Structure 1
Amino acid sequence: MEKTLKHSLYADLGLLAVALVWGSGFVASKSALDSMTPMMLMALRFSVAALLSGIIFRKNLKHLSKETIKAGCIIGFFLFSAFAAQMIGLQYILAGKQAFLTATNVIMVPFIYWAVKKKKPDLYNFIAAFIMLLGLALLTIDFSTGFSCNSGDVLTLLCAFLFACHIVVVGIFSKQHDPIALTVIQLAFAAIVSLVYVIVSGEFTVSVPVPGLLSGVYLGVFCTFLAFLGQNMAQKYTSSTHAAIILSLESVFGSTLSIILLGDVFTLAMFMGCIIIFIGIITAETKWSFLKIKQNNPEKIIEP
């Protein structure tokens, strides 16, 4: 029992660290964009992550089938597209604001899955979607200029949609292929496409200022490779619902760090929008099961 509690505590701390690192990624990305283009940042980030994962998990890449490579490339396409929309949009939006808008992908997932697998979302998903719309209105619409919405908001919402698609295809293909192999392939796909783009477009450069280079490496090592690895390891010792609650703090950390480190200024309406969106995320991810009366038997650890 003590060993289980110990593992659960370590899992919670690990997931909290992952949420913090992911939240800091918005700040690091915003800082890195001062010294390089969005696509160059993606090329750096995914190249670092792909090389690390390829070296460490090289045994999982032996005897790859064409089906696994194809599945990994499809997942990689959505990963690349989502990050491209996010990085380009980040040039026109506050990092903290983008953290909350990106997090709305968890509310979109059930509806995309409905379209693909014909499995209708439950009542909590519809309630979460309604809550999200209210929060989005407060967070993104500038009521002083007649309900205007800037390009950064639109691109970030597109990014959230693409991340939701990414989650859906990962859920489908990970049941048919080795998840680790799929991870390496999708990272490699995103790295290769990013590199090809910056080379063809002429954006490629090795003269990246040290601060930008460090931010890019940080994103590749910590926010991409180690964060995903840490999440997979931690979720082995906790329930999916419990993990979702902790990981949803990513948006809170992202906003808080952007205010502290970047000096982002939130209006009262934006702040209220963040709170409402967070409530929507919790509703979609947990269905408020943690408020239900627990049975006498302790909760069984659920592996994802």
Structure 2
Amino acid sequence: MENNSVRENQPSPLKVYSFLILTTFFWGGSFLFNKLGLKEVPPTNFVFIRFLLASVIMLIVCSTRLRGLTLDIVRRGALVGLALGMTNLMFVFGVRGTSISRAGILNNMFVLFIPLVCALVWRDRVGRANMAGIVLAVVGIWLLASGGAGFNQGDLISTLCAAFIAIHIISVSKVLRNDDVYLISLVQFITVAIMSGTAVLLTGSHVYSISQTGILSLVYCAIFPTVLCFTLQNRYQRYTTPTRAGLVYTLDPVWSLVAGFIFLGERLGTREWIGCGLIFLAVLVPLLFRLIVEWRLRERYKE
């Protein structure tokens, strides 16, 4: 009876993938709004204000759950929050220094960094599919470097950001337990706010004026790609495999490319398009390989 009840409460695949695709749309949109906001607000200030707002919103959402906040949740959430903080600080400096089209593609390389980090720290095997993806990514980056404005500082920081995205994803898997996802998110957001706030103090005071566009950018980034997307991801990703979720998340750079093309007039040269295509393929190859392996194992299990 219990199993039947769980199955009845489980959302349909259409609902699961619809919400996961929606998260990629909001994440892709964050490239555009970060780019617009960073024209007025310094990077560290932007991250600080964004996560301060997100922390306040999540605190309101968690008002009835705060009794469940334990020292262990604070420790684990803060540890994962450190990786999230580095990710977002790298993200804003990367987006500020390059086009959102290139940043979106380069950030998506987190899929390739995950097995590399696991191999370095836990001596996990990288695998042929991942190695093939890495080779394709290197060739793609070389083409990006030889086309357009070349491989600039923003591109490098966006690539490093992909590594920190991978570290954040791994830390979620390795550090977190069956904790309240809302409280964990709250602790992570507060940790990032503290990190970025400290960075603001260390870099000195910045005088800047902010327009309606800047305010809209901050509000969008605090609500949609932060509070809403974390909640949707934690709510629905559990109903699919990591491989299939990874394939859905490869839509992120598609939305950033579309946003850059429509709203910012960004255009890529031939070499840049080929380079971006190879990097995109580099991400897809390992994911598709894992999907095939999953499918074969499921077929064997049926037999």
TM-score when scaled to structure 1? Answer: 0.86
Name the counterpart of 1:51: 56
1:110-135 CA-to-partner distances (Å, cap 9, x unmatched) read 11012222222222221211121122
Name the counterpart of 1:163: 165
Equivalent position SS for 2:12: helix
Moved over 6 A (4+): 3-6, 291-297
Name the counterpart of 2:196: 194
Name the counterpart of 1:124: 129
How much has 1:156 moved relative to structure 2?
A: 1.1
Name the counterpart of 1:203: 206
Question: Quick check: 1:72–1:182 contact (8 Å CA) kept in 2?
Answer: yes
Name the counterpart of 2:139: 134
1:288/1:177 CA distance change after superposition, 3 Å: closer
Q: CA RMSD in A?
A: 3.0
Name the counterpart of 1:31: 36
Which structure 2 residue ranges, 5 or more long, are not aligned? 1-7
Give the distance between the partners of 2:10 and 2:193, measured in 1 at CA: 39
| Alignment counterpart, residue 86 of structure 2, candidates 81, 84, 93 | 81
| Alignment counterpart, residue 237 of structure 1, candidates 236, 239, 243 | 239
Q: 2:146 is aligned with what amino acid?
A: D
How much has 1:242 moved relative to structure 2?
A: 2.3
Q: What is the identity percentage for the equivalent residue pairs of Structure 1 and Structure 2?
A: 24
Q: 1:123 is aligned with what amino acid?
A: R
Give the distance between the partners of 2:293 and 2:114, measured in 1 at CA: 23
Question: Quick check: 2:146–2:271 contact (8 Å CA) kept in 1?
Answer: no
| Alignment counterpart, residue 184 of structure 2, candidates 150, 158, 182 | 182
Q: 1:37 is aligned with what amino acid?
A: P
Q: 2:92 is aligned with what amino acid?
A: M
Give the distance between the partners of 2:68 and 2:17, measured in 1 at CA: 36
1:197-234 CA-to-partner distances (Å, cap 9, x unmatched) read 335521376x5211101111101100111012112222
For the pair 1:217 / 2:219, whether they are aligned, the reply is yes
Question: Quick check: 1:44–1:217 contact (8 Å CA) kept in 2?
Answer: no
Question: Quick check: 2:147–2:269 contact (8 Å CA) kept in 1?
Answer: no
Equivalent position SS for 2:40: coil
Question: Quick check: 1:19–1:249 contact (8 Å CA) kept in 2?
Answer: yes
Name the counterpart of 1:256: 258
1:204/1:167 CA distance change after superposition, 3 Å: farther
1:51/1:12 CA distance change after superposition, 3 Å: same
Question: Quick check: 1:135–1:276 contact (8 Å CA) kept in 2?
Answer: yes
Which structure 1 residue ranges, 5 or more long, are not aligned? none
Give the distance between the partners of 1:292 and 1:84, measured in 2 at CA: 35
1:27/1:133 CA distance change after superposition, 3 Å: same
Question: Quick check: 2:99–2:266 contact (8 Å CA) kept in 1?
Answer: yes
Give the distance between the partners of 2:298 and 2:161, measured in 1 at CA: 43
Question: Quick check: 1:108–1:164 contact (8 Å CA) kept in 2?
Answer: yes
Question: Quick check: 2:185–2:230 contact (8 Å CA) kept in 1?
Answer: no
Matched positions, count: 296
1:50/1:60 CA distance change after superposition, 3 Å: same
TM-score when scaled to structure 2? Answer: 0.87
How much has 1:94 moved relative to structure 2?
A: 0.4
Give the distance between the partners of 1:224 and 1:209, measured in 2 at CA: 22
For the pair 1:98 / 2:100, whether they are aligned, the reply is no
Give the distance between the partners of 2:254 and 2:275, measured in 1 at CA: 12
